Amino acid sequence: MKRKHDVFQQILDRASGSNARIVLPEGHDPRIVEAVEWASVNNLCKLIVLGDKIWLANRFSKKALKNIEIIDPKSVAKRREMYAHSLYELRKHKGMTEEKAMEVLKDNVTYAMMMLKSDDADGVVAGAVRNSADILRPAFQIIGTKPGVSKVSSSMIIETREDTPLGENGMLVFADCAVNLNPTDDELADTAILSANTAKTICGINPKVALLSFTTKADEDTSIEVVQKIKRAYKIARRKNPSLCIDGELQGDAALDKIVCDSKCRDSILDGKANVLIFPDVVSGNIAYKLVQRISGVRAIGPILQGLNKPVNDLSRGTTAQEIILNIAITVLQSKDTIKGI
């Protein structure tokens, strides 16, 4: 039975036909090849694949090759020298030398990050083969965070069941479920703002953000530090983005159920209709999304990295070709957001 709101298809439709150039540095992986073939044939975006040119050219159809650029970093000496000089200038305060820069650029992930840094690509999708640290470290070092963002975070897009009124267009956004272990007040506020932008940019929904707690509107003088942190984060987020539709601290039922909201916090701007849920730490966020996924049988997309200067997304090493395609689409939508400067 076809879903009324197919979350995956909505994201693909929103990204389709883009001229964004997404680079995939792990071109030797068969799942990458399969995903790039589909994305190219279906005109999702422009694809740049790193790897052996002859090997890769023989794996794609003639139709797909029209939208694919294959680059072997080992065979483009002049470009690597240019990137090496830029990397040296960027990291010399950390002891980087031009010789060492040339050496680390033999790594395709680092090379992809320098392509992104140099505006030779609009986004990076990696992690099908490499672990998260190998993706995130060069992303943080080379791409860096957006101005005013205290720390990179992540979000998950959670598909909602057809028989519930939860979320919007069949989606909820959960954050942070993977990156920022125990955020400070400022980091939690930034996660809320960035997740709202993810909801708007990737999901196409009007964000209604709830800062979650095990309490709802506890007394201002409460001695529970985590509750105070959530209250402070709410005030910071409102100060940074006065137009943001946000409330906190709220229990999950008060955030999602109008009847409960009316009972516990009648004046809440969310009116029990939150579609972006911000957890106080990664532990609670990760537990929540995995339980929802298993108990309800719904799909989850992510983690989606938020707060980098330019879009980079980290795949799971157990990823499928379909998940890679979705990550490409998400990265395309983030690149549009970056270009607009939202």
SS3 category, 99: helix
Task: Output the DSSP codes for 238-268.
Answer: HHH-TT--EEEEE-HHHHH-HHHHHHH-TT-
pTM exceeds 0.85, yes or no: yes
Q: What is the pLDDT of residue 318?
A: 87
Q: Is residue 301 a part of any domain in this protein? A: no
Residue 20 makes CB contacts below 8 A (sequence gap 6+) with: 45, 46, 122, 123, 331, 332, 335, 336
Residue 304, domain member (yes or no)? no
Task: Say whether both 138 and 183 belong to one domain.
Answer: no
Residue 83 CA to residue 115 CA, distance in Å, equals 8
Residue 82 pLDDT more than 90? yes
Within-domain flag for 18: yes
- Per the structure, the complete domain to which residue 132 belongs is given by 7-144+309-340
Task: Check pLDDT > 80 for residue 1.
Answer: no
| Mean predicted confidence (pLDDT) in 75-84 | 90
Residue 342 has pLDDT above 50, yes or no: no
Same domain for 158 and 129: no
Domain count, the chain: 2
Q: Is the pLDDT of residue 170 over 90?
A: no
* Strands of the 246-250 sheet, one edge to the other: 246-250, 209-212, 276-278, 171-175, 153-159, 300-306
Give the largest Cα separation in the chain, rounded.
Answer: 67
* Domain co-membership, 131 together with 169: no
pLDDT tier at 331, thresholds 50, 70, 90: very high
Q: In 10 A of CB 184, how many CB atoms?
A: 15
- Residue 325 pLDDT more than 80? yes
Same domain (yes/no): 28, 118: yes
pLDDT band for 74, please (50, 70, 90 cuts).
confident
H or E stretch covering 287: helix 282-296
In a domain, 104, yes or no: yes
Q: Quick check: 14 pLDDT over 60?
A: yes
- Identify whether 278 is part of a domain: yes
CATH number, domain at 223? Answer: 3.40.50.10750
Q: Is 220 inside a domain boundary?
A: yes
Say yes or no: 109 and 175 in one domain.
no
Per-residue model confidence (pLDDT) at position 337: 66
Looking at the structure, tell me whether residues 140 and 157 fall in a common domain: no
Nearest 10 degrees: Cα torsion 106, 109, 114, 116: 150
Mark whether 101 and 192 lie in a shared domain. no
Residues 167 and 184 in one domain: yes
Q: What is the pLDDT of residue 5?
A: 61
- Is residue 130 included in any domain, yes or no? yes
The confidence score (pLDDT) of residue 339 equals 47
Q: Is the pLDDT of residue 211 over 60?
A: yes
Judge whether 303 lies within some domain: no
Q: What local confidence, expressed as pLDDT, does residue 341 receive?
A: 42
92 shares its domain with 121: yes
Give how far Cα 292 sits from Cα of 125, 141, 288, Å: 26, 34, 6
Same domain, yes or no, for 288 and 327?
no
Contacts of 280 (CB under 8 A, 6+ apart): 183, 188, 211, 212, 213, 226, 229, 230
| Mean predicted confidence (pLDDT) in 138-161 | 93
Q: Which residue is listed with tokens 């939508």?
A: 333
When comparing pLDDT for 5 and 182, which is higher?
182
- My answer on whether omega of the bond before 249 falls inside 30° of 0, hence cis, is yes
Residue-wise pLDDT for 47-63, tens only, equals 999 999 999 999 999 99
Mean pLDDT of the chain: 92
* Helix 321-340 with 30-41: angle, nearest 10 deg: 60
Q: What percent of the chain has pLDDT over 90?
A: 82
Q: What is the domain-level CATH number for residue 60?
A: 3.40.50.10950
Same domain? 140 vs 160: no
Residues 266-276 have a mean pLDDT of 95
CA–CA separation, 268 and 49 (whole Å): 48
Residues 127 and 216 in one domain: no
- Please work out, in degrees rounded to the nearest 5, the angle formed at the alpha carbon of residue 275 by the alpha carbons of 270 and 280: 90
